[in-house]
Chain A
Amino acid sequence: MAEVALPPPRHRNLLRSALLGLSWGWLLALVLVPNLLVLAASLLNRDPTHFLQLPLTLDSYRRLLDPLYLRVFLDSLALALATTLGCLLLGYPFAWALSRIDGRWRPLLVFLLILPFWTNSLVRTYAIKQLLAANGPLNGALLALGLIDAPLELLYTQGAVILGLVYLLLPFMILPLYAVFEDLRPELLLASRDLGAGRLATFVHVLIPLTLPGILAGTLLVLLPALGMFYVADILGGARVLLVGNIIKNQFLDARDWPFGAAASILLTAAMALLLFAHRLARRRLRDGEAP
């Protein structure tokens, strides 16, 4: 961050202590402690009436390695990756095209990107469900045009869940990419072409590295929520497609196996930590690469 370093205040005053106390207070009470509680819960035994009981055990983590759940986790990860890829494929060219549009129109176009957010995301998921149903308008239109003879099976499929997730999360991919593209100097691309690089080479060796921070930020913002949005899988997947979020929710609210739900949640946290770490590493390498 390019911040102008402030001269330190001349004396430690009451305000400083109060502000720091407040900041640390909410972080400790609302973030650190609750997460430690979940960690503790994941190490306890299941109890049919009181949810949790001693002694400590690693049983829940052992169960996560059960091929059944391992497979669900991998399926869920694959689904989230497909969503991220979908957002990237749609969003990358979009963000680039948007940054090349006449400056007067850009605020309006960005606004149009965010506008759907103000209609509830559940309402929009529901609209997609109506759209995709065998008796819905999409199949109706295709049938009327004679493109198909029988309604396509669109709803209650993995594809429907991916579509729903892409739809809800696309702006989170586009906005960081757009920010990067806006700062990108087109001369760099021209220079690359002038130096004889082909389109593909320019893309791979110049454009991708320059926009990598945006790609990484967008990936983080899409991949992590895509693992947890259980309601999209419920509504569009017909309870046959399971996300990690569905498993966690089921363990807490339905099966009442809290230690297992907590362990699954810790796994998700670990996945997030891994991704954040990768993000940091990639950014550092990028910065080091620029230096020499």
Chain B
Amino acid sequence: MKPLLLAGTITLALIVAGCGADREPQVLNFYNWSEYMPQEVLDRFERETGIEVVYTTYDSNEALYAKLKLLDESSQYDLAVPSTYYVSKMGREGLLAPIDHGKLHGLDQLDPQLRDQAFDPGNTYSVPYLWGTAGIAVDAAAIDPAGITSWGDLWRPEFRGRVMMTNDVRDVFHVGLKLLGHSANSTDPAQIEAAYHKLAELLPSVRTFNSDAPRMPYLEGEADIGMIWNGEVVTGRADLPTLTYIYPREGAALWLDSFVIPKNARNPEAAHRFIDFVLRPEIAALISTEIGYATPNLAARKLLDPAVAADRTLYPQPEDLVNAEFQQDLGDAATLIYHHYWDRLKAGR
């Protein structure tokens, strides 16, 4: 009898302990990408405001969008960080609450080129958090980076089986469309199909698709060249110093991750306070240094270590971004066409 009694007692104790946490007076439910906010920033915010941050993670915009839709009624999130055009998609579908600009300080310090984007005019729903580009990564130990200038170089036969791509339909089609001289935001079925045929030629070369940690296949020794986000190169260089980032001449993919507040957030007040906290130059600089992505905060950029600020991988020169393009929301019909060819692409081995 005793073991059972013991088990029951432990169970009860654990349940009680588990419930206790929910009764904290102030909680900020923060839904963010994995490893996308330094623990130190969370700790400092908690110490300063007394608001407990519950940090949960997603690994794709699709997953974030699906969870927000599913939990629309009960709304368990106070703050989230969707990428680029997902802001407009979610805003249009009424999933977001407008940002109260009066509660934030330092919005004017944000890079004007990254404010007021087409996907959120006037920053009604979003405040830029971090931004970057998707370009080409090369392991200089295996391939001379000087010879790589174009997305088309991925197709070279000597790289067969050593190429990796991000596992994202729009990223991959960005490469195909750009190479054919089209916009990465094309909604023309003929252009999308042409890009599909072009990409199908690349597929035998592709070793793996990875959007969770695109640096890893290089570190594992499984890939030498491929598509990557610039910050991943910065992080990856700590373990693989030969990892090199290249801006392809057809144009990199630009992206911007922004804070948004879900419509039914229980604690929008805390969410505003957190955004305000991150807008502080010293906090923004800390985040950029720790996470390895570029901050849109111009005041923070001045505080950065000169070596970081001058790193072209993170902070590109204007000539690096010729032809670069933000992805836009293309609407349901065009999105279905993309998914149709994406499924075909990945199944057609």
Chain B CB within 10 Å — which of A133, A151, A242 has the most?
A133
Given contacts A48-B332, A255-B339, contact A242 B221 (CB under 8 A): no
* Complex interface residues of chain A between 219 and 253 (CB less than 8 A to chain B): 238-240, 242, 252-253
Given contacts A68-B343, A155-B220, contact A49 B93 (CB under 8 A): yes
Question: Which of A49, A240, A253 makes the CB contact (< 8 A) with B209?
Answer: A240
Q: Do the beta carbons of B208 and A239 come within 8 Å of each other?
A: yes
Name the residue of chain B whose CB is nearest to the CB of A151.
B221
Q: Do the beta carbons of B208 and A254 come within 8 Å of each other?
A: no
Name the residue of chain B whose CB is nearest to the CB of A156.
B208
Question: Which of A136, A239, A240 makes the CB contact (< 8 A) with B349?
Answer: A240
B167: interface (CB < 8 Å) = yes
Q: Do the beta carbons of B332 and A242 come within 8 Å of each other?
A: no
- In Å, the complex CA distance between A49 and B335 comes to 14
1/0 contact trace for A77-99 toward B, CB 8 Å? Answer: 00000000000000000000000
* Complex interface residues of chain A between 127 and 148 (CB less than 8 A to chain B): 133-136, 139
Q: Do the beta carbons of B221 and A133 come within 8 Å of each other?
A: yes
B101: interface (CB < 8 Å) = no
Given contacts A153-B161, A240-B208, contact A254 B219 (CB under 8 A): no
- Distance from B333 Cβ to chain A, minimum over Cβ atoms (Å): 9
- In Å, the complex CA distance between A133 and B221 comes to 7
Q: Do the beta carbons of B63 and A253 come within 8 Å of each other?
A: yes
Q: Do the beta carbons of B62 and A255 come within 8 Å of each other?
A: yes
| A contacts with B: majority SS | loop
Chain B CB within 10 Å — which of A71, A255, A256 has the most?
A255
User: What residues on B are CB-neighbors of A212 within 8 Å?
Assistant: none
User: What residues on B are CB-neighbors of A268 within 8 Å?
Assistant: none
- Distance from B222 Cβ to chain A, minimum over Cβ atoms (Å): 5
User: What residues on A are CB-neighbors of B206 within 8 Å?
Assistant: 240
- In Å, the complex CA distance between A156 and B208 comes to 6
User: What residues on B are CB-neighbors of A184 within 8 Å?
Assistant: none
B187: interface (CB < 8 Å) = no
A72: interface (CB < 8 Å) = yes
Q: Do the beta carbons of B210 and A252 come within 8 Å of each other?
A: no
- In Å, the complex CA distance between A242 and B339 comes to 16
Name the residue of chain A whose CB is nearest to the CB of B58.
A253
Which 6 A/B pairs are nearest by Cβ-Cβ distance? A238-B208, A134-B221, A133-B220, A135-B221, A239-B209, A254-B62
Question: Measuring CB to CB, which residues of chain A are less than 8 angstroms from any residue of chain B?
Answer: 48-49, 51, 68-69, 71-72, 133-136, 139, 151, 153, 155-156, 238-240, 242, 252-256
